[in-house]
Structure 1
Amino acid sequence: MIVLRALVVASLLLAGLAGPGCAPADPVPPAGRTVTDDLGRRVSLPDTIRRVITLAPNLTELVFAAGAGDRLVAASTADDYPPAVERLPRFSALPVDFEFVATLQPQLVLATDQVNNPRDADTFAALGIPTYFFHFGSVDDVLDGLRTVGALLHTADRARRTADSLRARLDRLAAWSAGLPERPRVLFLIGDQTLFAFGAGSYIHTLVEAAGGKSLTAALDTPAPVLSDEFVLTAAPDVIVGAFGTAYDPARLLALHPSWDVVPAVRQGRIYSLDPDLLLRPGPRLVEGAYALARVLHPDRLPSWMRPSSSRP
């Protein structure tokens, strides 16, 4: 904390707040621009940004998808994709290691209110580092966020092309699923013992619908409901999909919830687990997650363009 305090004081001195004697003889206002982030905060930025830090893995993926991966000067300990992050220095984002981040001299920090504390922006501001906060409630928010990253980092054309391509792939999937004769009732779970799920307004329901399913928690008022066994028994899902990883043993779910032996999904052996990073990170790989959902929901109806070898978004 002593080092951090010294960095804050130094930043204030450099900003000319320690007294008129510290100001240069001929001060020239730095070029810059002011933008508004998803929290409604006004953020002052330099015209050109070449040094960036992200505080959540989905933001790292968005920066790379926008064609600005070379601007990242470090990766958090939670970052694992794309593979290029392996070459970057590591830092703690939860909690934020402000002292280490300050030594990297970033010109911009990207954060999301779903992972990061908005009050962290105050500490970064005291260090002279601007912070831009994103909010991702829907698939459209993610694609808009990708375009915003491109605008912030002057890779707008690349970001727009990537966002348009992802939208086209998702629309193609939705058009295909619209012609299906039936949609299974899908229960999507984040946790297997404690039944964490997504409620109303989540992007996950858009993915399930595009994949040809009907999400059973889409109408729940709570954004992050914890379900009961009674809810599952009453809802009687045709398919259960968990974000537990591809190596997950479905038998574990029944062992944890033995009363589910009467649930259609259990009786028909339709319990699946997918890579959580494709579904729980609101980033460019959500489209890949939607395709992965479609493959487990409708394995016998897949056209050739949806098969794994040809459908990575």
Structure 2
Amino acid sequence: MSACAGDDAATGDAGAATTATGAFPVTVSGDAGELTIDERPEAIVSMSASATEMLFAIGAGDQVEAVDTTSDFPAEAPTTDLSAFTPNAEAIAAHAPDLVVLSDDLNGIVDALDALEVPTLLLGAPDTLEESYAQVQTLGAATGHPDEAADVVADVQDRIAAAVESVPAEVQGMRVYHELDPSFYSATSETFIGSVYSAFGLENVADGAADASGGYPQLSAEYVVGQAPGLVVLADTVCCGQTAAALAERPAFDTVPAVREGRVFEADDDIASRWGPRVADFAESLAAVLRG
């Protein structure tokens, strides 16, 4: 059962009547099914950088006992040596969590934690903005912060709507190339970040890839140049040191409209890859580039 199936997924039917006041017990739905939480969790372990950002944004930060190595925002997040890529159930259980939040079921970690009787909520990467909002609401219900979660969702929605409204009409239909790394891996409209571009009315060049590869195809330099994108978003500035200047030096890229006209967005890798509330920051920065 998906945690991102819609409004019902935020709380589960069983919890819908109680979560408005943050009462417990509450039942929430995640990608691994329903989870009933008897009392407000006070020792949360987050194994998802996006979930960590959501938890702190909704006011549950003081309930977070430990987070994985990738959870570097906000600064006060209690980062540990727990690895989200090679999760270890015993290492997680050592923090005595009353709730573990995960974005991936790697190494059979969900079953392993279940065997240790550790309550686990699996919230995988969403495909749309709406699905990410549902995750915020799910975490709000699970932690006793439903009202704060609703406020966070409303704020992000308002900010993105304002960002979209701020760009000129001629932006509609502009082609965008989103770069994940210098080997031309990209993201289609069927991904979370792709849904942001769709909200702006942009045409994603990755959608035309012969092999969509689950939404993250590898394109080629020739393909990208041939698509003549009017906007390029570099989501590999931190990992790979890419810049607008470096992009312009690639063979034939000086002919790309985005490069010629100065619409290359040097994005923060983390903000561009996570589905927490900072997506509003991304949308606002994107709008500023589109406004010129």
In 1, Cα distance between the equivalents of 2:142 and 2:72? 23
RMSD over aligned CA atoms reads 2.4
Letter in 1 for 2:237: G
In 1, Cα distance between the equivalents of 2:203 and 2:55? 32
Identity of aligned residues (%): 27
In 2, Cα distance between the equivalents of 1:78 and 1:50? 22
Q: Identify the residue that residue 157 of structure 1 maps to in structure 2.
A: 147
**Greater mean deviation of Cα atoms: 89-98 or 122-131:** 89-98
Matched-pair contact (CA < 8 Å) for 1:38–1:133: yes
Q: Report the TM-score, using the length of structure 2 for normalisation.
A: 0.81
Q: How does 1:89-168 map to 2 (within 5 A)?
A: 89-113=80-104, 116-117=105-106, 119-135=108-124, 136-168=126-158
In 2, Cα distance between the equivalents of 1:42 and 1:262? 52
Q: How far did 1:212 drift?
A: 6.2
The one of 189, 214, 221 equivalent to 2:203 is 214
Letter in 2 for 1:103: A
The one of 19, 36, 45 equivalent to 1:53 is 45
Judged with a 3 Å threshold, the aligned counterparts in structure 2 of structure 1 residues 129 and 182 are, in CA distance, closer, same or farther, namely closer
Q: Identify the residue that residue 75 of structure 2 maps to in structure 1.
A: 83
**5+ residue gaps, structure 1:** 1-30, 300-313
Q: How far did 1:285 drift?
A: 0.4
In 1, Cα distance between the equivalents of 2:198 and 2:27? 38
In 2, Cα distance between the equivalents of 1:53 and 1:95? 15
Judged with a 3 Å threshold, the aligned counterparts in structure 2 of structure 1 residues 211 and 245 are, in CA distance, closer, same or farther, namely farther
Judged with a 3 Å threshold, the aligned counterparts in structure 2 of structure 1 residues 118 and 171 are, in CA distance, closer, same or farther, namely farther
Judged with a 3 Å threshold, the aligned counterparts in structure 2 of structure 1 residues 229 and 203 are, in CA distance, closer, same or farther, namely same
In 1, Cα distance between the equivalents of 2:138 and 2:123? 9
Q: How far did 1:90 drift?
A: 4.2
Q: Identify the residue that residue 62 of structure 1 maps to in structure 2.
A: 54
Q: How does 1:233-244 map to 2 (within 5 A)?
A: 233-244=225-236
In 2, Cα distance between the equivalents of 1:123 and 1:81? 27
Q: How far did 1:219 drift?
A: 5.3
**Greater mean deviation of Cα atoms: 42-51 or 62-71:** 42-51
Matched-pair contact (CA < 8 Å) for 1:210–1:290: no
Q: SS where residue 196 of structure 1 aligns?
A: coil
Say if 2:184 is the partner of 1:195.
yes
Q: How far did 1:234 drift?
A: 2.0
Q: SS where residue 100 of structure 2 aligns?
A: strand
Q: Identify the residue that residue 261 of structure 1 maps to in structure 2.
A: 254
In 2, Cα distance between the equivalents of 1:284 and 1:203? 13
Q: Report the TM-score, using the length of structure 1 for normalisation.
A: 0.76
Q: How far did 1:202 drift?
A: 1.5
In 2, Cα distance between the equivalents of 1:142 and 1:108? 20
Matched-pair contact (CA < 8 Å) for 1:211–1:291: no
Say if 2:168 is the partner of 1:175.
no
Judged with a 3 Å threshold, the aligned counterparts in structure 2 of structure 1 residues 250 and 151 are, in CA distance, closer, same or farther, namely same
In 2, Cα distance between the equivalents of 1:252 and 1:174? 28
Letter in 2 for 1:249: T
Letter in 1 for 2:247: L
Letter in 2 for 1:96: P
Matched-pair contact (CA < 8 Å) for 1:205–1:218: no
In 1, Cα distance between the equivalents of 2:218 and 2:130? 26
Q: SS where residue 236 of structure 2 aligns?
A: coil
Q: SS where residue 42 of structure 1 aligns?
A: strand
In 2, Cα distance between the equivalents of 1:211 and 1:244? 22
In 1, Cα distance between the equivalents of 2:260 and 2:266? 17
Q: SS where residue 142 of structure 1 aligns?
A: helix
Q: How does 1:278-289 map to 2 (within 5 A)?
A: 278-289=271-282
Higher RCO (Cα < 8 Å, 6 or more apart):
2
Matched-pair contact (CA < 8 Å) for 1:211–1:297: no
In 2, Cα distance between the equivalents of 1:213 and 1:294? 12
**5+ residue gaps, structure 2:** 1-23
Q: SS where residue 206 of structure 2 aligns?
A: coil
In 1, Cα distance between the equivalents of 2:208 and 2:193? 12
Judged with a 3 Å threshold, the aligned counterparts in structure 2 of structure 1 residues 157 and 182 are, in CA distance, closer, same or farther, namely closer
Number of residue pairs matched by the alignment? 262
